[in-house]
Amino acid sequence: MEKIIMPFLCMLLLFPTATSGSEPEGLKCPNPDVLMKTTEKDKDELSQALADIIPKVYGSSPDYQEWQIEVIKPMPILTGMEENYYKMASELLWRKCG
C-alpha cells in the first residue's frame, strides 16, 4: 500500500494540476475590428466615458474607486523567465480568443 501511495503523492506534488475554476458567464474576447485607435487629444473623452462606465460595471466597490489611464507600449526584449511567461500568456490568450 505504501509503495502505491508514495509515488502518487510525489506525482501530485511535482506535476502541475488544472484548477477547477470556471470562466465568468458571458465572457468573450473583444472583436478587434470594432476597436478604435486613440490619440492624446481623445484622452478627455476617454476619461469621461470611463468615469461613466466603471461605476456602472463595478458599483460602489472600494477596489475600483480610483483608476487611471495608462499607455500601452511595445514590450522590450525579454530574456529568461520573462520570455517564458510571455509565451505562456500569449498561448493561453490565443487558445481562448483564437
pTM equals 0.42
C-alpha to C-alpha distances, 3 to 9, 10, 11, nearest whole angstrom: 11, 11, 13
pLDDT in tens, 40-78: 888 899 889 989 988 888 888 888 888 888 877 777 788
pLDDT tens by residue, 78-88: 888 888 888 88
What would the grid cell of residue 81 be?
523567465
How far apart, in whole angstroms, are the C-alpha atoms of residue 85 and residue 78? 10
Torsion sign, CA atoms 17, 18, 20, 24: positive
Answer yes or no: is pLDDT of 10 > 60: yes
Q: Which DSSP state fits 34? A: G
